[in-house]
Amino acid sequence: MNREILSVLLLASISVGCSTMKVPAKVTHPAEVNMTSHKKIAVMDIDGNYGDQFRDTIKTRLSSSGQFEVQNCASKIRMVETTEEVTRKIPKKMSDVGKVVAIAGLLTSGKVDLSTASETRKHTITKKVALREFPEECKPENLAATAIVKGNYNGTFVTNLKSTKETCKDKNDQKYSCLSYKRTASVSIEGSIDVVNAETGGIIATKRISDVCSDSSWSKESKPRVIAEQSLKNTCISRNATHFARALTPWTETVMVAYQKDGDLPQLEQGIKLIELGRYEQAIEVFTNALQEAERNLLKPKIIAKAYWNLGLAYEYSWKFQDALDTFDKGYLLHSDKKFLNEIRNTEMLQAKREKLLKQNRQIIANQ
């Protein structure tokens, strides 16, 4: 009897687990900042102990976007010798002062102050000075770029090793006292990157960066692996550079869209297979027919709602946003599942982003 119950429960869990099919869909987001009027960007110095690597990474990210021609305007430090003439007051020798005072007979009169008696001498000092030099094409009078990227980017590395006493067992299952080690490490990032209009000097956008990348290792009886600063540094810089590039250029991500199927409405699975092939128009037709059949056959509202759900998603990810919103509304009125409300908000957000993206694309074409 217990085995029969277990088998029923197992079959039920498989059925529930397979009621949803996730299909990947590509979504392109607009740039946060409208940079369509700028075709050439100069990446200047990024100050800070991690600044050089971050500068090189964002330069690569912006170049690979294909939207900008990126100009490398990193400076070079050149050491030069300079001379400077200085004047110093040096106290006179006591013997000379004594002679002057003795001759004048003024020592007791208080008219001569030995502490201020001095003579002036000139010295020439030679010292080395660090000069920051920019490439000739990056000087203001020669700069072809219409936007400049500059700022600061600093990182702090912290690592720690802790040990705790534990009870271990040897090969013979005998207990003995041992140590367990845990090593932690983190890189904390703080920075601020400005995008500046090269012609007016006005700030187009500022991206503030605050991030932490961490890792840990564990071992018994021996110290665990060392966590390298460079590894965490690379992780943070790559992530932060990606976020910065997305602020200036459109970017695409793959999202997993959860369609629903039901044994009482096999057309739903047929439509999902068409979605997997990218044939959205045909899928919309199949889902529409499935919905009509479900309503004719007076299937349960929960099953009919699945047809509304799939049809709404097919509209949403083929950018027919108003049809998607109308379909989700009907699905929610039939079966009050909060997922319909959440998807309505997601559709509205995608619609706003899509409109912004199309506007940016039109501006890019107009500026060519």
Q: What is the 3-state secondary structure (H, E, C) of 154-196?
A: EEEEEEEEEEEEEEEECCCCCEEEEEEEEEEEEEEEEEEEEEE
**φ/ψ bin of 66: left (φ > 0), alpha (ψ from -120 to 50), beta (otherwise):** left
Confidence of residue 103 (pLDDT cuts 50, 70, 90): very low
Distance CA 269, CA 288 (A): 13
What pLDDT sits at residue 368? 65
Kindly indicate the confidence band of residue 84, based on its pLDDT and cuts at 50, 70 and 90.
confident
When pLDDT is averaged across residues 314-327 and rounded to a whole number, the result is 97
Each residue of 7-25: pLDDT tens digit? 433 333 333 345 899 999 9
pLDDT grade, residue 66 (50/70/90)? confident
What's the pLDDT score for residue 91?
A: 59
Range 196-203 contact pairs with CB under 8 angstroms and sequence separation of 24 or more:
196/147, 196/148, 196/149, 196/150, 197/146, 197/147, 197/148, 198/42, 198/143, 198/145, 198/146, 198/147, 198/148, 199/146
| Spatial separation of the C-alpha atoms in residues 173 and 171, rounded to whole Å | 5
* pLDDT at residue 76, rounded to an integer: 82
The pLDDT of 74-100, averaged and rounded, is: 66
Instruction: Note the pLDDT of residue 170.
Output: 87
Cα distances (angstroms) measured from residue 10 to each of 5, 13, 261, 264, 279: 9, 5, 19, 20, 35
- So what's the pLDDT on residue 126? 78
Q: Specify the range with the lowest mean pLDDT, choosing from 65-79, 100-114, 115-129, 288-302.
A: 100-114
Distance CA 187, CA 234 (A): 10
Lowest mean pLDDT among 27-36, 67-76, 108-117, 135-144: 108-117
First to last CA, the chain: 76
Mean of the per-residue pLDDT values of the chain: 86
% of the chain exceeding 90 in pLDDT: 65
What mean pLDDT do residues 251-260 have?
Answer: 96
What are the tens digits of pLDDT across the range 321-340? 999 999 999 999 999 999 99
Question: pLDDT band at 119, cuts 50/70/90?
Answer: low
234 is written with which tokens? 């690379």
- List, for residues 143-152, the tens digit of each pLDDT value: 899 999 999 9
Lowest mean pLDDT among 221-230, 272-281, 317-326: 221-230
Question: Which domains does the chain show, CATH number per domain?
Answer: 40-75+134-253 (3.30.160.180), 79-131 (no CATH), 257-367 (1.25.40.10)
Residue 190 has pLDDT above 90, yes or no: yes
Q: What is the pLDDT of residue 19?
A: 87
When pLDDT is cut at 50, 70 and 90, the band that residue 141 belongs to is confident
Q: Is the pLDDT of residue 37 over 70?
A: yes
